[in-house]
């Protein structure tokens, strides 16, 4: 079975799940695909064990590892996902809420990583399954960033105030850059560079890589939007966005800057500049349609592959304990990382007392966490980190994702009722 055979089977599965979901389940697309892939992977594993024929399962596992998917994801697919999500962001709204987005995407990520690291290390030490704190820090960085695409999809038709939506989506777009800096720092510490955590080097890396990535992304976005504006061919315009999405990400990564921040800024500038010109809005709609398809396809494939990765899990005691502990700690660290910035920096202008609870529940982990955990070096604690990461991703996407509409209705009943009244009025009209 070749890689193309595996790919065709995955696409067939994605199509089947999408049709079933559209006709019967009516779930958000990423949730339906993740559930479908989990059920199929568990069925294959069960049949393989019952028939004493593990060849098919082993073949899938071999193909997935041989494809070097985590490297492919970090080297380019992440750029496509983030660019697609950034096209939906409004630069003016982000600018007016820049302080809130910046605090949550930087200080919030650092706080989340630190709290998770210390509590995870402490609990496993008490259980007699101590993991070195550098590895715990690595897991904290893996689970710190939220998934921009999943969050955006859940909030698309939400009755929440526009300013609050902007802050939530903006944080999920920009926190990847901070998390990747912390992830690389943890890898360096595990590799023996123990002095990397001192003398402000992490802060320096965040400022240089993040600030440089933002500057490069703004310049690339200006250049891309200028090229799109002067060409009359819509196909060239779409091709230009694809070229700049990948090119900006790879250039930033190649010169030591933040690729995620660069490509997000590039996409935001492109969408904002094209939206200002009435003559370019039609072209922007076509570009957005193309990227919507790219976004959906990549997310479908990613979550299906996540389901198949269950084949690689080893149910060791430390892996089971890590998975059980990770979910409550992720929720607690997420709440702390949101509540403290809101309290200290007075971010309440974009919300109220309910906002930290909403942001905690909307902290869905997804694509970036899956890719990062698959990129960790071989070591004695891989099973624990992989099990914890997969369980958290599945829990946040499925449980938190499905219950988010109810949480929003419970926290913001007036907004929900107002949206229902407006919908009813449109129906009567």
Question: Domain extents for the chain?
Answer: 70-423
Please provide the DSSP assignment of 328-350 as one string. HHHHHHHHHHHHHHHHHTTGGGG
What distance lies between CA 267 and its chain's CA centroid? 16
So what's the pLDDT on residue 421? 47
Rounded to whole angstroms, the Cα distance separating 154 from 31 reads 10
The C-alpha angle 11, 36, 369, rounded to 5 degrees, equals 85
Q: Are 404 and 337 in contact (CB under 8 A)?
A: no
What are the structure tokens assigned to 419, written together?
Answer: 């949206």
CATH topology for 70-423 is: Na+/H+ antiporter like fold (1.20.1530)
Give Cα separations from 10 to 25, 148, 156, 368, 390 (angstroms).
20, 23, 27, 20, 19
Q: Are 229 and 283 in contact (CB under 8 A)?
A: no
For the entire predicted model, the pTM comes to 0.83
Handedness of CA 245, 249, 250, 255 (dihedral sign): positive
- The CA-to-CA distance between both ends of the chain, in Å, stands at 57
Residues 6+ positions from 304 with CB-CB distance below 8 Å: 10, 13, 14, 33, 34, 36, 37
Rounded to whole angstroms, the Cα distance separating 78 from 171 reads 16
DSSP H or E run through 182: helix 162-190
Q: Are 311 and 45 in contact (CB under 8 A)?
A: yes
Q: Are 295 and 84 in contact (CB under 8 A)?
A: yes
The C-alpha angle 232, 84, 110, rounded to 5 degrees, equals 140
In three-state secondary structure terms, 349 is: helix
What are the structure tokens assigned to 139, written together?
Answer: 């897991």
Give Cα separations from 74 to 135, 151, 356, 365 (angstroms).
20, 20, 30, 16
Rounded to whole angstroms, the Cα distance separating 374 from 393 reads 13
So what's the pLDDT on residue 177? 82
Please provide the DSSP assignment of 81-108 as one string. HHHHHHTT--HHHHHHTHHHHHHHHTHH
So what's the pLDDT on residue 311? 64
Q: Whose structure tokens read 């980190």?
A: 385
What distance lies between CA 342 and its chain's CA centroid? 22
Q: What is the dihedral of CA 367, 370, 372, 373, to 10 degrees?
A: 170
Q: Residue 178: CA atoms inside 13 Å, Cβ hemisphere, count?
A: 25
Per-residue pLDDT of the chain (429 residues; tens, 9 = 90+): 565 666 677 678 778 888 898 899 888 777 887 888 778 777 776 776 676 655 555 665 565 555 555 566 666 777 888 898 888 777 777 877 888 888 898 899 999 999 999 999 999 999 999 899 999 999 999 999 998 877 877 887 788 887 888 888 888 888 888 888 888 888 888 877 665 655 566 676 777 888 899 999 999 999 999 999 898 888 999 999 999 999 999 999 899 888 888 999 999 999 988 888 777 778 888 898 898 888 777 776 777 667 666 666 778 899 999 999 999 999 999 999 998 888 776 655 666 788 899 999 999 998 778 878 877 888 889 889 989 998 999 999 999 999 998 999 898 887 655 555 444 444 444
Q: Are 70 and 371 in contact (CB under 8 A)?
A: yes
So what's the pLDDT on residue 393? 92
Rounded to whole angstroms, the Cα distance separating 313 from 334 reads 26
């Amino acid at each position: 079975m070749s890689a193309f055979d595996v790919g065709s089977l995955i696409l067939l599965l994605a199509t089947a799940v999408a049709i079933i979901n559209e006709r019967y389940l009516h779930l958000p697309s990423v949730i339906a695909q993740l559930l479908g892939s989990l059920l199929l992977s568990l069925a294959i594993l069960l049949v393989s064990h019952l028939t004493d024929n593990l060849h098919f399962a082993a073949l899938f596992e071999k193909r997935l590892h041989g494809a070097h998917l985590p490297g492919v994801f970090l080297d380019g697919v992440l750029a496509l996902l983030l660019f697609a999500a950034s096209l939906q962001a409004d630069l003016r709204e982000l600018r007016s809420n820049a302080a809130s987005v910046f605090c949550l995407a930087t200080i919030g990520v650092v706080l989340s990583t630190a709290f998770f690291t210390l509590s995870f290390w402490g609990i496993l030490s008490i259980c007699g399954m101590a993991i070195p704190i550098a590895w715990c820090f690595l897991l904290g960085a893996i689970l710190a960033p939220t998934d921009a695409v999943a969050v955006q999809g859940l909030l698309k038709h939400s009755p929440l105030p526009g300013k609050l939506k902007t802050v939530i989506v903006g944080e999920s777009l920009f926190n990847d850059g901070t998390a990747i800096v912390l992830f690389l720092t943890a890898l360096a510490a595990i590799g023996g560079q123990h002095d990397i955590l001192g003398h402000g080097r992490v802060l320096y890396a965040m400022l240089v890589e993040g600030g440089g990535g933002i500057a490069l992304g703004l310049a690339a976005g200006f250049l891309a939007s200028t090229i799109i504006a002067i060409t009359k061919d819509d196909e060239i315009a779409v091709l230009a966005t694809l070229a700049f999405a990948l090119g900006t990400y790879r250039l930033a990564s190649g010169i030591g800057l933040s690729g995620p921040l660069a490509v997000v800024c590039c996409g935001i500038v492109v969408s904002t500049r094209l939206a200002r010109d009435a003559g370019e809005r039609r072209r922007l709609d076509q570009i957005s349609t193309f990227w919507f398809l790219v976004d959906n396809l990549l997310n479908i494939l990613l979550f299906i592959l996540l389901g198949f990765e269950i084949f690689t899990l080893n149910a060791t005691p430390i892996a089971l304990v890590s998975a059980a502990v990770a979910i409550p700690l992720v929720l607690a660290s997420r709440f702390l990382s949101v509540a403290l910035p809101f309290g200290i920096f007075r971010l309440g202008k974009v919300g109220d007392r309910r906002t930290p609870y909403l942001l905690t529940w909307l902290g869905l982990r997804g694509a970036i966490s899956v890719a990062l955990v698959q990129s960790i070096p071989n070591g004695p604690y891989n099973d624990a980190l992989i099990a914890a990461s997969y369980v958290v991703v599945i829990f946040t996407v499925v449980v938190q994702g499905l219950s988010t509409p109810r949480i929003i209705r419970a926290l913001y009943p007036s907004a929900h009722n107002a949206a229902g009244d407006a919908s009813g009025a449109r129906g009567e009209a």
